[in-house]
Structure 1
Amino acid sequence: MKYDVIDARISPVGRLALLSKSEVAKLLDTSKGGLYRLLRNCSLAALNSGSTLDDGKELLERYQSFEIRVIQQERGIKLEVLNAPAHAFVDGKMIKGINEHLFAVLRDVIFVSDEIIANPIFDLEISDGITNAIFHILRNANIMQPKGDPKLVVCWGGHAIKRREYDYSKEVGYQVGLRGLDICTGCGPGAMKGPMKGATIGHAKQRINNGQYLGVTEPGIIAAESPNPIVNDLVIMPDIEKRLEAFIRIGHGIIVFPGGVGTAEEILYILGVLLHPENKHIPFPLIFTGPKSAKEYFEEIDRFILATLGEQAKKRYTIIIEDPQRVAKEIARGITQVREFRKQHKDAYYFNWLLKIDDEFQRPFNPTHENMRNLVLHADQDKHLLAANLRRVFSGVVAGNVKDEGMRAIEKYGHFEIQGDAKIMAHMDSLLTSFVEQNRMKLDGKKYKPCYKIVK
């Protein structure tokens, strides 16, 4: 099938406007380091904003001829795009929000390459070094608000949710916006777009003109979850682990909407962090919510958490079904507790330095067939470490479902094999099966073909 494309040259709007000659040369060099490929693929995803396509591999194949070039000029830079998706333009001119996203991609790709990875100041082999790097990436993106009160609500949930669940996420976002709170999501469609859309109405009614709708993503997922049109701040983190840490360092509370394996991965990440003994006293409001159609989804996750991580994990979250106003009241009350705690302990409102994150949650996990097969999935370990390994299972399934590299690995080598304690594997099999039965694995409505096999 042929897709409409457009060629254009665009100038930055309030974003990165200057690059050195060496930075431009590195971006244009297709033979070394893969920086051009990273810029190209993330830029294509940004240009695909608003699409319902959740297949990174298909997006890259649809627009194989797409190219992006940096044009150095005396007064700054321009970006030239060739064979770009036509829906990113109106009457031949690129949509302003997409323009901003493109230059945000360029900003983060350059900064991470030159100032983080190539900088000996950042020791990415140690926990503090990773957290420090995350802080600098977020500060460079200018998304933290040091003078404001805590008010950033992180919303997680699936991009492939039912219509009623999407509408419900808007209703919650509206109630959150009425209370003057901002929204941070993974930037894509579905449960990532709904709360932002609702919050815009809530903010408008309260005459809040500077609401923040922050999208945090990473190169492996952005092609499957292109930025939705409401995102007004976009940040590209280097990998999924740094993305997840960024969420809980800058967020003041989390609302989880229904989703699939990606949402289960996020839930296990935050629970694993909160289960660390050093975080026992730190308040962090965590709410799972959805309409009546989501009740079964959260009941299955609740059972899985209780069976694998125990009662202590279950105490760290609240499940609220079909009550947007209560959700907003609870998250606002929880954020008030966060404010008082941070004030008492002299911790920053804009970045949660006190939260202890074990390096098991920070070390990038590459879901190869060998790594998936060798995951340590037994009960004879600390609960927060078990949560880290369970999180990796779901990260691998996400990769096999929607990420370009993961999907190609499945095509080449077959299913990921997941093995461990019999009881844990039984609960894992039951949970994943329920996701399939509830049609929570894919957006396109096609029959789901599992990328994994539970070895009992």
Structure 2
Amino acid sequence: MPETVDTSISPKRSLEILSQREVEQLRITSESNLYPLFRQCVLAILQSGSSSDSAKAMLDAYKDFDIEIVQQDRGIRLNLKNAPAAAFVDEEMIASSREMIFSALRDIVYSESERYNKRVDLNSGAGITDYVFHLLRNARALRASEEPRLVVCWGGHSINTPEYDYTKDVGHELGLRKLNICTGCGPGAMKGPMKGATIAHAKQRIAEGRYLGLTEPGIIAAEAPNPIVNELVILPDIEKRLEAFVRVGHGIVVFAGGAGTAEEILYLLGILLHPDNRELPFPMILTGPESSAEYFQQMHEFIGLTLGFEAQQRYKIIIGDSVKAAREMAEGISEVKQFRVERADAFHFNWALTIDEEFQYPFEPTHENMASLALHEDMPKHILAANLRRAFSGIVAGNVKDQGVRLIEQFGPYEINGDPAIMEPLDKLLRSFVKQQRMKLPGTEYVPCYVIKP
């Protein structure tokens, strides 16, 4: 049995009060799914730094973990029973863990409250964008007074040591240029840039550098927040998480990764391929050490074969040069600033970016939905990108998300069908991910959760 601790904690700054109805909603009841959702997020936060990427294994290891939410005159208190001992030092919870727990409570309560009071329209693209805006604003992640300087960094959570070290180098160079970092908040390529930037910010005497982490309940258990994150926001699902990235970020750096990173690349390319966005500047740099060159070449070839030459022109590939990658990003963000100044657009939220509803509605990776994805070469490229994104989202779910893993155990692998011109490059890319151990943590045997059927 893992070592555990019983404790009681109260918020310091991330959350002050809850209504009685909100507290009741979070209690253990058969009618509410909020408590298990909150419990899973808290358990993941308490296991920050864990080497496991299995949500199912984490939940199974701490079946006795429990949270009692107590409403008090002066606020709230959480009584935690059988909490992972790794989150404590001399029986006192680490400050970053406590802060992130109440950030999770804040986001889950606010998201549910907005839906309960019918203040959101989740049946239209504009309504979903407005919802994302309000979630970010409630979390105080939108800073209208700041100039563009937020760089989103994507990449794998189980990358090798040279790739991880390179992410730190790039983060350091970005930080020296006084840029802030936003990632998916987990380990690997999500932690490295933040770690590098902390040193650079210290050198530049930047006392309040931003290390913004955006996640969602389905993936937080597999990618627990790293302790450098000083702003955590939990979005309701992967689609709103991805939209939050591109709405608040001023440029995106992509490091090596696996299916999740491919999903992110396809999401952004699909948006940038929309006719309304062709003139909109949005710097996108794919970069890694020399040892990652093959990975990026394979991604580049896949994009060319499926989405075409135009998609390849929306990013730059920079290998083995962290200084150049950071300099190119800084120059790209300067263009973003000029573009928005000329059009009187907001710096803190990219309202001008058109996101097709195909990218916004949640995709549930059931076996039926995966098998019925339309993957045809004669489709509009931005719609094809949306469906390829969904395919990779399903693979991520089958690899690491608790519900997806259980579906695969029950019904076998997903079937993915489409035109040979799409399926053959997809199969080749996925095989390369497996060969390079990019689908699971190194040292673990990977059993594919999918079957490609052209």
TM-score (norm 1): 0.99
Residue 238 of structure 1 is aligned with which of 198, 212, 236? 236
1:317 is matched by which residue type in structure 2?
Y
In the alignment, what sits opposite 2:303? 305
SS in 2 for 1:343: helix
- After superposition, what is the alpha-carbon deviation per residue over 1:181-236, rounded to whole angstroms, capped at 9, x for unaligned? 00000000000000000000000000000100000000000000000010000000
In structure 1, C-alpha distance between the alignment counterparts of 2:189 and 2:431, rounded to whole Å: 22
Deviates more, 1:34-43 or 1:352-361: 34-43
SS in 1 for 2:6: strand
In the alignment, what sits opposite 2:201? 203
Q: What are the equivalent positions in structure 2 for 1:118-197 lying under 5 Å apart?
A: 118-197=116-195
- After superposition, what is the alpha-carbon deviation per residue over 1:329-373, rounded to whole angstroms, capped at 9, x for unaligned? 000000000000011111100000000000000010000000000
Native 8 Å contact 2:26 2:32 kept in 1: no
In the alignment, what sits opposite 2:26? 27
In structure 1, C-alpha distance between the alignment counterparts of 2:89 and 2:83, rounded to whole Å: 13
Native 8 Å contact 1:52 1:189 kept in 2: no
SS in 2 for 1:153: strand
- After superposition, what is the alpha-carbon deviation per residue over 1:156-183, rounded to whole angstroms, capped at 9, x for unaligned? 0000000010000000000000000000
Q: What are the equivalent positions in structure 2 for 1:252-271 lying under 5 Å apart?
A: 252-271=250-269
SS in 2 for 1:196: helix
In the alignment, what sits opposite 2:452? 454
1:66 is matched by which residue type in structure 2?
F
In the alignment, what sits opposite 2:343? 345
Q: What are the equivalent positions in structure 2 for 1:213-292 lying under 5 Å apart?
A: 213-292=211-290
Native 8 Å contact 2:288 2:320 kept in 1: yes
- After superposition, what is the alpha-carbon deviation per residue over 1:290-312, rounded to whole angstroms, capped at 9, x for unaligned? 00111111111000000000000
In the alignment, what sits opposite 1:387? 385
In structure 1, C-alpha distance between the alignment counterparts of 2:31 and 2:178, rounded to whole Å: 47
In structure 1, C-alpha distance between the alignment counterparts of 2:395 and 2:276, rounded to whole Å: 30
In the alignment, what sits opposite 2:6? 7
- After superposition, what is the alpha-carbon deviation per residue over 1:38-70, rounded to whole angstroms, capped at 9, x for unaligned? 111111111111112111110100111111121
- After superposition, what is the alpha-carbon deviation per residue over 1:133-173, rounded to whole angstroms, capped at 9, x for unaligned? 00000000001111011000000000000001000000000
SS in 2 for 1:79: strand
In the alignment, what sits opposite 1:71? 70
Deviates more, 1:441-450 or 1:410-419: 441-450
Residue 427 of structure 1 is aligned with which of 414, 425, 428? 425
Where does structure 1 lack aligned partners over 5 or more consecutive residues?
none
In the alignment, what sits opposite 2:95? 96
- After superposition, what is the alpha-carbon deviation per residue over 1:253-298, rounded to whole angstroms, capped at 9, x for unaligned? 0000000000000000000000000001100000000001111111
Q: Note if 1:44 corresponds to 2:36.
A: no
In structure 1, C-alpha distance between the alignment counterparts of 2:48 and 2:139, rounded to whole Å: 20
- After superposition, what is the alpha-carbon deviation per residue over 1:366-391, rounded to whole angstroms, capped at 9, x for unaligned? 00000000000001211000000000
TM-superposed CA distance for 1:33, in Å, is 2.6
What value does the CA root-mean-square deviation take over the aligned residues?
A: 0.7
Where does structure 2 lack aligned partners over 5 or more consecutive residues?
none
Residue 368 of structure 2 is aligned with which of 367, 370, 375? 370
Native 8 Å contact 1:182 1:211 kept in 2: yes
SS in 1 for 2:295: helix
Q: Note if 1:16 corresponds to 2:6.
A: no
TM-superposed CA distance for 1:29, in Å, is 3.5
SS in 1 for 2:252: strand
TM-superposed CA distance for 1:31, in Å, is 1.1
In the alignment, what sits opposite 1:415? 413
Native 8 Å contact 2:181 2:210 kept in 1: yes
In structure 2, C-alpha distance between the alignment counterparts of 1:343 and 1:11, rounded to whole Å: 43
TM-superposed CA distance for 1:444, in Å, is 4.9
In structure 2, C-alpha distance between the alignment counterparts of 1:91 and 1:47, rounded to whole Å: 15
Residue 323 of structure 1 is aligned with which of 321, 330, 333? 321
SS in 1 for 2:32: coil
In structure 2, C-alpha distance between the alignment counterparts of 1:343 and 1:15, rounded to whole Å: 32
Native 8 Å contact 1:30 1:37 kept in 2: no
In structure 1, C-alpha distance between the alignment counterparts of 2:152 and 2:185, rounded to whole Å: 11
Native 8 Å contact 2:154 2:189 kept in 1: yes
Native 8 Å contact 1:203 1:209 kept in 2: yes
- After superposition, what is the alpha-carbon deviation per residue over 1:392-430, rounded to whole angstroms, capped at 9, x for unaligned? 110000000000000000000001000100111101100
In the alignment, what sits opposite 2:397? 399
Deviates more, 1:9-18 or 1:368-377: 9-18
TM-superposed CA distance for 1:30, in Å, is 2.2
TM-superposed CA distance for 1:9, in Å, is 0.1
Identity %: 59
1:196 is matched by which residue type in structure 2?
M
SS in 1 for 2:233: strand
TM-score (norm 2): 0.99
In structure 2, C-alpha distance between the alignment counterparts of 1:313 and 1:69, rounded to whole Å: 50
Native 8 Å contact 1:177 1:202 kept in 2: yes
Native 8 Å contact 2:148 2:348 kept in 1: yes
